[in-house]
Amino acid sequence: MFSIIQINQLEALAIDSAEFKAIILLQGAQLVEFSTTDHPNNWLFVSEANEFALGKPIRGGIPICWPVFGAFDKNSEAVKASFPEPLGQHGYARSEIWSLKSTETEQNSAIACFELNTNNKPHLSATVIFRFSSEGYSIELVTQNNEAHSISMSQALHSYFPTSDIDNTAVSGFDIVEYIDTLTANWESKTQQGDILFSGETDRIYQAGSNCDIKTPEAVFTLSADNSNSTVVWNPWIEKSKGLSQFNDEDYRKMLCVETANALDDAIMLAPKASHSLKLSCKRG
Ligand code: TA6
């Protein structure tokens, strides 16, 4: 059921059962493949341009943005004050090698647990628990504040979903939800009308958790989230795609990101020694 494989420079945990398969890179504890017997194509988008090189976050699957989401200077004052130095885009977790703490099987499921403990200040630790079954997958990100003072942080499970045609893809579940349009000069607040459709670069932070359906010509991915108050919806479209690392120019037509997050004013405040759990579950209709 469980084995360690090598994908170019990166080690990965491979989970292979009669009913489902999964591959999780130890770099970033990044899920890059999940499929079932009933739906044998990868439920996640992974660009073919990826090098799978050490220290280069893979574009696709579910990158873990932690202990901040997005550009550091766009975070709240409380988050910026919690870190002695500015962090890189989406934090450092996705570039670090996580340790595989445990694997187990439970009835018809497989469970894998990874941990990240660094000497970075403030001393935060992260645990990710994956659960896989023939019904789908879940990913739970637990953050532990090891300091004797409060820490504010932001986070996202930056999930990439596949589609054969972005023009015929929609996200439902955010009707009349407020969102920040990060493509406007002043990050204007707007209100969603109906389903989210894609006809150009899209980069929005919705003020609601990712309880939604992603409708593509091949599938309906049903997401449910616990302890998430933000959802980021992103497609780079043509021009941005040309400048993205590990991404082919036409990849924007074959993917969309719907990210289970706590971002901007929804940043998490962790009391001393407290912990927080962010969880995403994905099933497929
Ligand atoms: O998905 C939201 C976002 O912050 C976009 O603005 C874009 O930067 C994307 O993440 C990808 O970021 P990355 O650092 O993986 O290239």
| Kind and range of the H or E run holding 20 | strand 20-25
Q: Average pLDDT over the chain, rounded to whole?
A: 98
pLDDT, residue 5, reads 98
Q: Is the CB of 261 under 6 A from ligand 1?
A: no
Q: Half-sphere exposure of residue 136, counting CA atoms within 13 Å on the CB side? A: 15
Q: Cα(20) to centroid of ligand 1, in Å? A: 29
Q: Measuring CA to CA, which residue among 40, 52, 51 is closest to residue 6?
A: 52
* Ligand 1 site, residue 58, Cβ cutoff 6 A: no
Residue of the nearest CA to atom 2 in ligand 1? 234
Rounded mean pLDDT, 217-241: 98
In the predicted structure, residue 191 carries a pLDDT above the cut 90: yes
Whether residue 164 has its Cβ less than 6 Å from ligand 1: no
To test the ligand 1 pocket, which listed residue (65, 154, 182, 203) has its Cβ within 8 A of the most ligand atoms?
203
Pairing of strands 10-16, 20-25: antiparallel
User: What average pLDDT does range 13-29 have in this prediction?
Assistant: 98
Task: List the residue whose alpha carbon is closest to atom 4 of ligand 1.
Answer: 70
Q: Does position 8 have pLDDT exceeding 90, yes or no?
A: yes
Quick check: CB of 225 below 6 Å from ligand 1? no
CB of 60 within 6 A of ligand 1: the answer is no
Distances (CA, A) of 90 to 73, 87, 153, 166: 11, 8, 11, 25
Lookup result for tokens 């579940």: 173
How many angstroms separate the alpha carbon of residue 179 from the centre of ligand 1? 17
Q: How far apart are CA 166 and CA 199, in angstroms?
A: 8
To which residue do tokens 């099933």 refer?
A: 283
- Listing DSSP states for 76-135 in one string gives -HHHHHH-SSPPPTTBSGGGSBPEEEEEEEETTEEEEEEEEE-S-SS-EEEEEEEEEETT
| Those residues with Cβ within 8 angstroms of residue 80's Cβ, 6 or more apart along the chain or in another chain | 72, 73, 86
Inter-residue contact 75 to 57 (CB < 8 Å): no
Kind and range of the H or E run holding 190: strand 188-191
Distance of alpha carbon 200 from the chain centroid:
22
Task: Kindly state if the Cβ of 232 falls inside 6 Å of ligand 1.
Answer: yes
- Looking up tokens 């990965």 gives 12
> At 285, is the pLDDT very low, low, confident or very high (cuts 50, 70, 90)?
confident
Nearest CA to ligand 1 atom 3: 70
- Of 56, 42, 72, 93, the closest CA to residue 216 belongs to 42
> Residue 240 CA: which ligand 1 atom is closest?
7
> Ligand 1 centroid vs 80 CA: distance in angstroms?
19
pLDDT, tens only, 127-177: 999 999 999 999 999 999 999 999 999 999 999 999 999 999 999 999 999
Instruction: Answer yes or no: is the C-beta of 93 below 6 A from any ligand 1 atom.
Output: no
